Amino acid sequence: MKTDLRKILSISGESGLFLYVQQAKNGAIVESLTTKKRMCAGLSAKMSSMADIAIYTDDGEIKLAELFLKMKEVLGENPAPAKKADQKELVAFFEKALPAYDRDRFYVSHMRKVVEWYNVIKEFASLDFMTEEEMEEADKE
């Protein structure tokens, strides 16, 4: 099944990624991708959809989905480096996967988040993402 990155969320103050389940009166019902536990994320929680996140490059920005596909090309079926990997290892990896990343605005802390998200999505969802057309069709249903 293809992954709709609009429904995969990062929530400030919470570890891991969450799947949007439905709207609630006081926030959103989300389910942890790793533990499958559900919770209500309140209206004040800062939630970011994976589809809305972009990485700075020398030429502008690249959507996270595109970066994940570039990472998959480099990694094959192997997982990305661990989020606690050595800084030099992370930088070397991103130089292969995204050589034009903006070295002034894409920090190692960002790299750590991206590799963690990649590994979670690879293991608990799918790196086969829905296209714009498929998302529009899903919205109609």
Q: Which residues pair with 129 in a beta bridge?
A: 3
114 burial (CB, 10 Å; 0-12 / 13-18 / 19+) is: buried
Question: In this structure, what token pair is assigned to residue 109?
Answer: 């802390």
All domains in the chain, ordered by first residue:
5-50 (2.30.30.730), 54-124 (1.10.10.1650)
The neighbour count for residue 104, using CB atoms within 10 Å, is 8
Q: What is the value of pTM for the model shown?
A: 0.91
- Radius of gyration of the chain measured on its C-alpha atoms: 15
> What angle do helix axes 87-97 and 108-124 make, rounded to 10 degrees?
70
> How does pLDDT run across 3-49, given as a tens digit for each residue?
999 999 999 999 999 999 999 999 999 999 999 999 999 989 999 99
